[in-house]
Amino acid sequence: MITHYYATVEVESGDRIEFEVSGLEYGMLDFQGTRCLGYQRSLEP
């Protein structure tokens, strides 16, 4: 069985954007409107 992980971001309009990620990734997404300004990866949850 394969497990899929997703990061979901809700923007000001209420819309949600999903990104598929591995189970080993942690971090913070920075958004402005619908633009992703950056992603800062963390080695620990």
Distance CA 45, CA 43 (A): 7
The residue-averaged pLDDT of 13-42 equals: 82
How buried is residue 25: exposed, middle or buried, by Cβ count under 10 Å (0-12/13-18/19+)?
A: middle
Number of domains in the chain: 1
11 pLDDT higher than 70: yes
What local confidence, expressed as pLDDT, does residue 5 receive?
87
Total-model pTM: 0.47
Give the number of other Cβ atoms within 10 Å of residue 22's Cβ: 8
Confidence label for 45 from pLDDT (cuts 50, 70 and 90)? low
What local confidence, expressed as pLDDT, does residue 44 receive?
66
- What single letter denotes the amino acid at residue 45? P
Query: Range of 14's domain?
Result: 5-42
The residue-averaged pLDDT of 19-27 equals: 80
